[in-house]
Amino acid sequence: MKTFHIIIFSLALILISCGDNSTDNLETVLNSNDATALNTKKLELIEEQKVLNDKINTINTKLESLNGNEKLPLVSIITTKEENFKHFVELQGNVTTKNLVVINSEYAGMLQQVLVKEGQKVTKGQLLAKIDDGGLSQQLAQMQIQTDLAKTTFERQQRLWKQSIGSEIQYLQAKSTFESQQQAISQMQQQLAKTSVTAPFSGTIDDVITEQGSNIAPGTPLMRLVSLKDMYIEVDVPETYLTEITTNKLVNIEFPILNLNVESKVRQAGSFINAANRTYKIEVDIPENHPNIKPNLTAKLKINDYTNSNAILIPQDIISEDAQGNQYIYVVENINDSIGTVIRTNVKTGKTQGDIIEILDGLKPNTFVIKEGARRVKEGQNVKVQQ
């Protein structure tokens, strides 16, 4: 606009200049009283007027064109291209481990000794506590003496029987007595073993629940043992992802309270659907080099359930929908000197991630899609494209 204002101003100066010269010439011709000279001057002025009118009309046409373009809707565009698109399902789970148990008493009596303390590392089979056996060990010693006697008697009767000395009934009675004593010894040893509390696996004593000297019954919790090895995250996954979230799928794990992100994989996917909430369970491995990760810690998981290496992606908020349920966007074609024509294009959408949506059909690479201003345009309208 500024350029054309300068053009008009310059043309006005030319007209003024020409007008001054014409005035001088006109006065000379008029003073000559020559009819031929007057007619010639008249024709000359008419021709000059025609040329100037043509120039003015050209300027007006251009000004009208510029004023019209200024009134066109201003839009911004994005150029579509093929991109690598990864879709993630976001779920929440808790850290757990199969090596976390509360060790309960299997015998009634007084907790005679607690041999460990909280935070102590123990090995599998290590003695953790001792319960008063109430005289079982003395009974076992007496039974052992009786068993030894029964064994000696049986062996003697067996030798005599092989020599055809003595009756068969004596041999069988000695054998039965000895075997009965062996069974009684075995049962007593099993009972006595329950008075010794041992570690079922190697780990750390997380909590000593019952103090030494307490009277306990079978089932009384004594201590909690945990191992931070082989920890995993257990997650309930909606059944709609049954064919997509499977073993070995990549997983990004976030522990918000630790400000920590780690990469892992689905190590196991359940084959049972919970009828109550229509989910199935998966287990996700946790790397063992993170000591701050503890059982029952909350974790956020992003699981890559879908990948398209040649996806066309656009912002979700530029997609509209008509009364028939058709989704559409506006594109710009025939762009010339920043002016283009709006074309409505129906699209078929796929998965979304954040504010981005995948276009399955209706768009090709290198298409100019209206981003800003898409709600203010209509089919066939001219728009001005912001560069």
Query: For residue 261, what are the β-bridge partners?
Result: 254
Of 147-161, 214-228, 327-341, the one with minimum mean pLDDT is 147-161
Per the structure block, which two tokens stand in for 30? Answer: 């008029």
* pLDDT for 345 beyond 90: yes
CA pair distance 309, 303, nearest whole angstrom: 17
Mean pLDDT, the chain, as a whole number?
A: 84
Q: Read off the pLDDT band of 3 (50, 70, 90).
A: very low
Q: What is the pLDDT of residue 2?
A: 46
**What percent of the chain is modeled with pLDDT above 70?**
90
Buried b (16+ CB within 10 A) or exposed e, 106-118: bbbbebeebebee
Q: What is the pLDDT of residue 331?
A: 93
- Span 52-66, mean pLDDT? 68
DSSP state of 386: P
CA pair distance 290, 253, nearest whole angstrom: 13
pTM of full prediction above 0.75? no
pLDDT tens-place string over residues 223-258: 999 888 888 999 999 999 888 888 988 899 999 999
Short-list 319, 344, 322, CA closest to 333: 344
pLDDT tens-place string over residues 125-136: 999 999 988 887
Distance between start and end Cα atoms, the chain: 19
pLDDT tens-place string over residues 164-211: 777 888 888 888 888 888 888 888 888 888 888 999 988 889 899 999
Instruction: Please report where in the chains the tokens 């491995």 appear, as a residue.
Output: 285
Pairing of strands 327-336, 231-238: unpaired
